[in-house]
Structure 1
Amino acid sequence: MTGDTGGAQAPLRSASRVTLDDVARHAGVSAATASRALGGGPHVAAATRERVRAAAEELDYVASPEAARLAGGPTGRVAVLVPHPSRWFFGELLEGLEGELRAADLDLVLFRVGGPEERAAFFARLPARRKVDAVVVLTPVDETEHARLASLDVAVVAAGGRVAPYPSIAVDEHAAGRQAMDHLLHLGHRRIGMIDVEDAGRPDGRRAAWEAALRDAGVGPDGDLVVTVSADGEGGADGMARLLGLRSPPTAVFAHNDEIALGAVRTLRRAGLRVPEDLSVIGIDDHPLAALTDLTTVAQPVREQGRRAGELVRAALRGELDQQAATLPTRLVLRGTTSPPAAPR
């Protein structure tokens, strides 16, 4: 028994807030059925549930906090927006976040928002999404997306990068990049290439660090020494091949992350070049494979960023959130893929 009362009615819009009754009338069902459909309740036919959700989306309906409390209070759920859950970096963030939320009896609800179509579809449907108590964003959001999140009227925090205007936990990307570049410069390298990522999703502090470090060393940045690739090992392998194809290849390479750096090392070894004797390589992250492969890197506390984001959520739900941003430290980890440049032959 679904409680249907007939066909869909004409849209109801007014200057006041859209109510559940408006959604029910627009979908042609009772208010009780509309409530069960939007809340994931039982005894609602699939076609009816979809019609109610479509009506809620069209009217931009968002349940009021008062209605949510009357319906049972806090949901115990925290939405997490992540662009690439299969990547190590985001997996580590989620591990730290989930552990902190679980300790507070909060469930993590994961939403993948990777490509443009996924993002557009998610944010278009956002007002009709299941109710949550807070949102954690692991990806930048534009002004339109920010407005959609604001319509939920819940706390929003960020992790893994600065995502204005939310309270956030991150590292200083520029400082981490300078640690990598200053190490190479101190070793004596001046022709330093960079393998950057094409989908960083935010202003690239690491690329800016590459440029600033070279200028500070009196070396004009050479745009030919920068290649952009996908943020994985295969991208790094391809980027290194492109740098080796230059008339004057670099003597060292700064990779945007460790996975890219490891791909670059593979290409060098397949080309018969020695690392670091012929060419030095450094990354950022301290991926678990970095220690196993003796990769020099700049370590960042990825899981800790997720855990601290969970602390922000818990503070927000207690009404105690006053911290706007926290920056965690990074550190240079010296291993076996960097050394002074080879003497000219």
Structure 2
Amino acid sequence: MVSIDEVARLAGVSTATVSRALSGRGHVSDTSKERVRAAAASLGYVVSASASSLASGRNRNIGLLVPFLERWFFSTVLSGTATELMRQGFDTTLYSLAEDRELRRNVFDTLLRRGRVDGVIAVSLELDDDETEGLLALGIPVIAIGGPNPQLSTLTVDNVGVAHLATQHLLALGHRKIAHIGASGEFDLDFHIPTQRRQGFELALAEAGIDVNSTLFEPADFTIEGGFRAAKQLLGRPGEQPTAIFAASDEMAIGALLAAREMGYSVPTDLSIVGVDGHELGEFFRLTTVDQFPLRQGARAATAMLTALRGGSAPEPTPLPFELIVRGTTARPAAD
């Protein structure tokens, strides 16, 4: 195994200079830093994580808490977070807090208390008072993405505003018979995102003078398959058909698009469809959506964490941006 002494000899500097150059702590001239990095690369030298931890008092490791791993949105946020942290030389430890309450309790009561992480980023998790207090008691920075938590530094998502904007787009095109594909109660968990998006949808309708009680609603499970089945139910009902569908996620919107085409609807001539998220498949399907920039959400959380670790102040509760992206699945109703 290559030692730090060998790197120092090859670079023509002291071992202390090698340590400062590779750790990023302390001043080293650009010339010396370049020589050290070149020497380390040629010898295949990698800084020992345990030695670095002992010297700095840090693990250079951030804990990431998420409710689901298999969902595209969460994996995309995590990708943005992990990529930014890796650029700064940090590892990540992932904790998936699904429906298993015992497992979730073990993460907060045991795993996070082992002192292996320098900070925690919680992604779209509604933490109860005990969990929040447990995180704060660790004495390390905690950054949250999602709904507001008055005790934590939070990057907030305005899900009511997101849905309101998507529905306003359909209304501005002249649609009045708008159906909604949302989520059933079993998926209305942390921060009640499906409920908030339905509230934004109904708020926009009410502002337009439309009776929200007369609108069609079909629950799904935030997947393409779920959106496909829900759209089949909506479009297969007898009576007056909707001219537009607002789906509470892009995946459900894509499923609705596929179902509509299978049933002989021309999108957007016969039926307009809009989603939410900014899914990577949206461009392929020419889907109109409200982009939440999930990759950027993750990167912003990582930047906020790094700032806090360097002694800077944690961010005040900050609203995350979103933007309507108009593509090829929305148009004026055929009657117009």
Percent identity for Structure 1 against Structure 2: 37
Query: Greater helix percent: which structure?
Result: 2
Equivalent residue for 1:11? none
Match of 2:8 in 1: none
What CA distance in whole angstroms lies between the structure 2 residues aligned with 1:272 and 1:121? Answer: 51
Residue 98 of structure 2 aligns with an amino acid whose one-letter code is G
Aligned to 1:282: 274
Does 2:192 align with 1:203? yes
Residue of 198, 219, 226 corresponding to 2:210: 219
Flag structure 1 segments of 5+ consecutive residues without an equivalent: 1-68
Kindly report which structure 2 residues correspond to 1:322-341, keeping only aligned pairs within 5 A, or say none: 322-341=314-333
Closer, same or farther in 2 for the Cα pair 1:313/1:197, shift >3 Å?
same
Q: CA deviation at 1:146?
A: 1.5
In structure 2, give the amino acid aligned to 1:149: L
Match of 2:169 in 1: 183
Matched, 1:85 2:69: yes
Separation in 2, partners of 1:129, 1:196 = 40
Matched, 1:112 2:96: yes
**Alpha-carbon separation, structure 2, partners of 1:270 and 1:289:** 19
Q: How do residues 300-339 of structure 1 correspond to structure 2 at under 5 angstroms?
A: 300-339=292-331
Determine if contact 1:159/1:168 at 8 Å carries over to the other structure.
yes
For residues 107-256 of structure 1, what are the structure 2 equivalents within 5 Å?
A: 107-117=91-101, 118-126=103-111, 128-138=113-123, 139-198=125-184, 199-200=187-188, 201-204=190-193, 205-222=196-213, 225-247=216-238, 248-256=240-248
CA pair 224-123 structure 1, distance change in 2 beyond 3 A: farther
User: 1:73 corresponds to which residue?
Assistant: 57
Larger displacement relative to structure 2 (160-169 or 179-188): 160-169
Q: Structure 2: which amino acid aligns with 1:218?
A: G
Query: Structure 2 length as normaliser, TM-score?
Result: 0.75
SS at match of 2:270: coil
Local SS of the residue matching 1:111 = strand
Displacement of 1:175 in angstroms is: 2.1
Secondary structure at 2:63 match in 1: strand
Matched residue type, 1:271: M
Structure 2 unaligned regions, length at least 5: 1-52
How much has 1:224 moved relative to structure 2?
Answer: 5.7
Deviation at 1:152, TM superposition (A): 2.0
Q: Deviations over 1:214-251 (max 9, x none)?
A: 00000111276222211111111121122224343322
How many residues align structurally? 276
SS in 1 for 2:70: coil
SS of corresponding position for 1:266: helix
Equivalent residue of 1:215, what SS? Answer: helix
How many Å apart are 1:163 and its aligned residue?
A: 4.2
Q: Compared with structure 1, are the counterparts of its residues 187 and 127 closer, same or farther at alpha carbon in structure 2 (3 Å cutoff)?
A: closer
Shift of 1:338: 1.0
84-93 or 185-194, larger mean C-alpha shift:
84-93
RMSD over equivalenced CA pairs, Å: 2.3
Summarize the Cα distance change of 1:223–1:154 in structure 2 as closer, same or farther, 3 Å threshold: farther
Distance 1:336 1:82, change over 3 A: same
Kept after mapping to 1: 8 A contact 2:145/2:157: no
Question: Amino acid of the residue matched to residue 145 of structure 1?
Answer: E
Within 2, Cα distance between the matches of 1:92 and 1:325? 22
1:288 aligned counterpart, secondary structure: coil
Tell me which residue corresponds to 2:50: none
